[in-house]
């Protein structure tokens, strides 16, 4: 029986090729296959280290057949390196499924650690990284987006987002409305690259900067946690619903009811509005 191969989950530079570790170089020179999110970028990196494995595309839109073929190679004893577009694989990319399937067929899975946009942005943000939440790319609209923004608003922990440059100002604006425009934020753009930039300040200040200076490139947003001194008391939702019903029966509009509810119960207006609209 053939012994299954090894899946190397290999972190690659965010931009500066000098950040590739010696261990990663050795792995790339010895594996037979590289499963890459972006084959063009992968080949640039492979040429840089004189490595010649076969490169196959593996990304969020890959077919089930492509996943099966990579797993079959591992089961047959081949060694494979999994590479993201940049940074550490399985963070906001489809690598986790490959890792699970590799273990199912008996392959060894090892990490080849290195660059991470999340860790890099936190390190230069000036905000606490003792505890943080990473939420990836925010949905463009709807309940899922609101849920993530409300998480950032209420959490005492730092929250890290990825965002496309054309949507950055919109995210900062929505965060300002949800968290308050005085919440601290750091926007790290093009980390390790020629035009690296880190803007820090309040959400209002950083939003204003990017309204005047439209961003380009890779963007990571680090939002400070809610200061404990500003934490709101826990609200009994059943009590809040009853009070909202009473205010509506008095003839108040939904908007006025939400305003009154937020003031009387010292709760966030967005929460008050959610309760009112769900009645």
- DSSP string for 169-217: HHHHHHHHHHH-TTSEEEEEESTTSTT-EEEEEEHHHHHHHHHHS---S
Going by the DSSP 8-state scheme, the letter that residue 250 receives in this structure is: T
Which pLDDT belongs to residue 247?
Answer: 87
Cα 101 from Cα 68, distance rounded (Å): 9
Which pLDDT belongs to residue 192?
Answer: 97
Which pLDDT belongs to residue 44?
Answer: 95
Which pLDDT belongs to residue 75?
Answer: 97
Going by the DSSP 8-state scheme, the letter that residue 19 receives in this structure is: G
Structure tokens at 215: 């961003």
Domain 118-230 has CATH 3.30.950.10: yes
Cα 272 from Cα 279, distance rounded (Å): 11
Q: What is the strand order of the sheet 219-223 is part of?
A: 132-137, 158-163, 219-223, 184-189, 197-202
Cα 29 from Cα 51, distance rounded (Å): 5
Output the tens digit of pLDDT for each of the chain's 279 residues: 789 999 999 999 999 999 999 999 999 999 999 999 999 999 999 999 999 999 999 998 899 999 999 999 999 999 999 999 899 998 766 789 999 999 999 999 999 999 999 999 999 999 999 999 999 999 988 889 988 999 999 899 999 999 999 999 999 999 999 999 999 999 999 999 999 999 999 999 999 999 999 999 999 999 999 886 555 555 678 888 888 888 888 888 888 888 888 888 877 777 888 888 888
Which CATH architecture describes the domain 6-115?
A: 3-Layer(aba) Sandwich (3.40)
In contact, 222 and 203? CB cutoff 8 Å: no
* Cβ neighbours around 25 below 10 Å, total: 16
Q: Domain ranges in the chain?
A: 6-115, 118-230, 237-277
Each residue's pLDDT tens digit, 74-128: 999 999 999 998 999 987 667 899 999 999 999 999 999 999 999 999 999 999 9
What ranges in 77-167 are assigned the alpha helix state H?
A: 95-104, 117-125, 142-154
Cα 87 from Cα 136, distance rounded (Å): 13
To which H or E segment does residue 10 belong? strand 6-10
Cα 146 from Cα 270, distance rounded (Å): 10
Q: Which long-range contacts (CB under 8 A, 24 or more apart) does 102-108 make?
A: 102/7, 102/71, 102/74, 104/71, 105/4, 105/71, 105/74, 105/75, 106/3, 106/4, 106/75, 107/4, 107/5, 107/6, 107/7, 107/74, 107/75, 108/4, 108/5, 108/6, 108/7
Which pLDDT belongs to residue 251?
Answer: 87
Going by the DSSP 8-state scheme, the letter that residue 12 receives in this structure is: B
Residues constituting the chain: 279
């Amino acid at each position: 029986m053939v012994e299954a191969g090894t899946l190397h989950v290999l972190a690659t530079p965010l931009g500066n090729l000098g950040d590739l570790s010696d261990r990663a170089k050795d792995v790339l020179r010895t594996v037979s296959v590289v499963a890459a999110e972006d084959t063009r970028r992968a080949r640039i990196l492979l040429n840089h280290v004189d490595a010649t494995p076969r490169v196959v595309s593996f990304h969020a839109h890959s077919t089930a057949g492509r996943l099966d073929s990579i797993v079959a190679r591992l089961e047959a004893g081949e060694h494979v390196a999994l590479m993201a577009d940049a940074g550490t694989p399985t963070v906001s990319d489809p690598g986790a499924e490959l890792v699970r399937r590799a273990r199912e067929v008996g392959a060894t899975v090892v990490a080849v650690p290195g660059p991470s946009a999340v860790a890099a942005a936190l390190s230069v943000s000036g905000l606490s990284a003792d505890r943080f939440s990473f939420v990836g790319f925010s949905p463009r609209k709807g309940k899922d987006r609101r849920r993530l923004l409300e998480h950032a608003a209420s959490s005492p922990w730092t929250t890290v987002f990825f965002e496309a440059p054309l949507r950055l100002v919109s995210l900062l604006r929505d965060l300002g409305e949800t968290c308050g425009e005085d919440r601290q934020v750091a926007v790290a753009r093009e980390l390790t690259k020629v035009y690296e930039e880190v803007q820090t300040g309040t959400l209002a200040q950083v939003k204003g900067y990017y309204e005047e200076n439209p961003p380009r490139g890779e963007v990571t947003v680090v939002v400070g946690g809610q200061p404990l001194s500003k934490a709101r008391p826990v609200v009994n939702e059943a009590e809040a619903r009853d009070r909202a019903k009473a205010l509506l029966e008095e003839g108040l509009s939904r908007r006025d009811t939400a305003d009154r509810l937020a003031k009387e119960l010292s709760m966030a207006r967005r929460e008050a509005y959610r309760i009112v609209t769900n009645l």
